[in-house]
Structure 1
């Protein structure tokens, strides 16, 4: 009896999956650069004479008191704008479950195990450091999240041509991370629950699902309904971003007869630029502005809560993602792509240590009664993410030449039909086209050789 074929870990993506990943990450990369600019702007505003104005704007409150929605600008950014981010995360998760890496349980085991280990290990590092130093352990979840936009911004700045399979692996890690983060927020950082408001919010979600699956279309129907669902979720005491994930998961990802694309793909195409280019950067602008001085930086490495965040991101994430990947591949007998090495997985694991958006959000939720500690934890998130970016950048640069060669092979399209050649190697039509192209090139070379020979002999050559 023949031995079963071993599955590939980080093998070549299918063409539709590759196209989706390329389009999605292109938007996230641009958004990540904007996010990076917003974070730098926040730090400048918080550490210059403009800090007073910055603080006044961030703390300015507006909204209807009767609906419990009189919030500060910073809270509107965290509770409102990040709901858009988690809405897109919900769509991504649904798509991964239906048509992506998570649709096959055996194939999904690798990124899911890697992501879970990549959340558990940083939490363990934080708890170990915090317990040893007698610190507040409520921030154990701060270093568990990966910020895909910030990670891709680092790649964009470094110019690293990361192969599509590694980028898809990073994207899948981030999607599972986002799901884990929203579960953590809903379960561990919900202090009180208004059951009436929560029930009405669930009723609104049921209406949303029914209208969507009945084929009702029109933003003017869903946007007001989404706002009502969000407001009820906010009033319930459960963090309002949960509403965003729930609505994203309800969108249909399959294509019906007569449709060019699924509703989820259509909505994501429209909303992702809003999330990556506006919602997340604005959140970062009001969340990342923490005073940073020499003394404050020194405290980050001496206080157990902040040291736990830094080590959790830099060490815990790397060890967790890499160890989870290796163990999953070992026990599922998956073979690593022969074009890559485990050093590449280690580099991506260190890149996953860039935790920014969700880490900042959890930092605010973990210490609501201690603004000073919350600010120090935010500073630790920034420092830990910066260190992870530097480490991953160095590791990825070591293999940059290899990555560029792989990307060139993935992108090569000699017959210029819009489909990379690696996806057509088994097509007879492709080989016929390539034979015709090579024959045309050979004929042109012969003609040029005849012209050169005729010029040397003084003959005018063929007309």
Structure 2
């Protein structure tokens, strides 16, 4: 019998290179979910333990930006919801672009199951919400329970460790991205205001300019930032919610390097050999060194560079600030709020019941029909647990609630209560279901 240890193959480092970025993303989202939860709890405590007036006063603090007669005035809450959330949607747009171009969604076979599950996870919750609110003043909020909060959801799965197969983590991440796409379309199509054709033409022209910049492989952040600000301003005046500018900008950023790795390394090798062939007494000039630096930068697409730079700021800055500014709701029903109103109950039921039913039924049906395999060879019990966890709808759900009930504070407070209750129930119940399943044996 041959007892020799087999030689190490290139497969292990190659697998590590493929999986390492996903693990980094997983850890970042899991950690940001904890910070997000702390911010939401902090806002709730602030409002419900005697600080409601101070909380509201801080959010209504007026700020000004500009010089001379060109001054824009806005509140702190508007800065967070309309300004900083544009950066959030910019990162979301880049995540969507990355997944579609080089990630898990680039192959139809892999994208099929989360896409089908996302359809169920959007249609059924909307129907459940309308079952409570159709024909009433709260009907406009039907889009609130459609989104899955990826930071909270991934955070729950991270706490469960080996109870959740890697394939189901990828499935939930892809499902949340499809949810984001659906939520973005809902915001753009149904939660704007009166459209202005002239500003729409300008917005289309700016978007065309961004596409041209993408084709030209612009790497510097300054032109992209200028184009994003101009698009935000045009969409704001066109009647489409301005945060959509972040998504459009994110989708325009080049997701692939200008040149393939082999081509870059071949050119770099030739350049280095030429430098080594010179006299040893000659010092390398700055131009020769800059060419090496430029060649290395060609290996990284602008999207990867921008996302790497912004993702931590969004995960640990923008999203917690949004949670702090939008989660301050009086749980005791003060201020005329109805904790058991149709909007509150409908939102909670749509997230907790509608999400899990829609996702599990559509995903299990697709697997049974042979349209897609079960992710990671998991059991239906584990799929159900992940479907329940996907009912955590926080950031985008509250954002849509702000748009749907901007002129009705009472209904907005109800919607936020429903989002908090439904998300809490989904996170706890999903974790319990997954905790009751067997651990996944490491391969």
| TM-score, normalisation: structure 1 | 0.79
Q: How does 1:179-218 map to 2 (within 5 A)?
A: 179-218=181-220
Q: 1:334 to 1:223 in 2, by over 3 A?
A: closer
Q: 2:305 aligns with which of 257, 266, 278?
A: 266
* Count of matched residue positions in the alignment of Structure 1 and Structure 2: 391
Q: How does 1:314-463 map to 2 (within 5 A)?
A: 314-336=352-374, 339-399=377-437, 402-403=439-440, 405-406=441-442, 409=443
d(CA) in 1 for partners of 2:209 and 2:229?
13
Greater shift in the superposed pair: 381-390 or 39-48 = 39-48
> Cα offset for 1:126?
0.6
SS in 1 for 2:369: helix
SS in 1 for 2:105: coil
Deviations for 1:1-46, whole angstroms, at most 9, x for unmatched residues? xxxxxxxxxxxx9765533321222221122111111111111111
Q: 1:178 to 1:67 in 2, by over 3 A?
A: farther
The corresponding residue for 1:241 is 243
SS in 2 for 1:63: strand
Deviation beyond 6 Å, 4+ runs, structure 1:
65-68, 294-298
The corresponding residue for 2:317 is 278
Q: 1:155 aligns with which of 154, 157, 161?
A: 157
> Cα offset for 1:221?
2.7
Greater shift in the superposed pair: 372-381 or 65-74 = 65-74
Greater shift in the superposed pair: 205-214 or 145-154 = 205-214
Q: How does 1:89-168 map to 2 (within 5 A)?
A: 89-131=92-134, 134=136, 136-157=138-159, 162-168=164-170
1:292 matches 2:295? no
> Cα offset for 1:82?
1.3
Kept after mapping to 1: 8 A contact 2:217/2:254: no
Kept after mapping to 1: 8 A contact 2:401/2:416: yes
SS in 2 for 1:329: helix
> Cα offset for 1:262?
2.1
Greater shift in the superposed pair: 51-60 or 224-233 = 224-233
Q: 1:55 to 1:99 in 2, by over 3 A?
A: same
Kept after mapping to 2: 8 A contact 1:115/1:321: yes
The corresponding residue for 1:30 is 31
d(CA) in 2 for partners of 1:297 and 1:354?
26
Q: 1:111 to 1:237 in 2, by over 3 A?
A: same
1:303 matches 2:341? yes
Kept after mapping to 2: 8 A contact 1:68/1:235: no
Deviations for 1:328-370, whole angstroms, at most 9, x for unmatched residues? 2233443335742011111110010000001101111111221
d(CA) in 2 for partners of 1:68 and 1:120?
43
Q: 1:324 to 1:339 in 2, by over 3 A?
A: closer
Q: 1:337 to 1:373 in 2, by over 3 A?
A: closer
| TM-score, normalisation: structure 2 | 0.82
Q: 1:228 to 1:326 in 2, by over 3 A?
A: same
Deviations for 1:230-268, whole angstroms, at most 9, x for unmatched residues? 222222221112111111111222232333332212211
Q: 1:169 aligns with which of 144, 168, 171?
A: 171
Kept after mapping to 1: 8 A contact 2:356/2:391: yes
SS in 2 for 1:167: helix
d(CA) in 1 for partners of 2:370 and 2:379?
18
d(CA) in 2 for partners of 1:197 and 1:27?
38
Can you give the 5+ residue segments of structure 1 that lack an aligned partner in the other structure?
A: 1-12, 410-463
d(CA) in 1 for partners of 2:312 and 2:80?
17
d(CA) in 2 for partners of 1:17 and 1:347?
27
The corresponding residue for 2:8 is none
Kept after mapping to 2: 8 A contact 1:135/1:304: no
The CA RMSD measured in Å over matched residues stands at: 2.5
Kept after mapping to 2: 8 A contact 1:310/1:384: yes
d(CA) in 1 for partners of 2:104 and 2:138?
37
d(CA) in 1 for partners of 2:311 and 2:37?
17
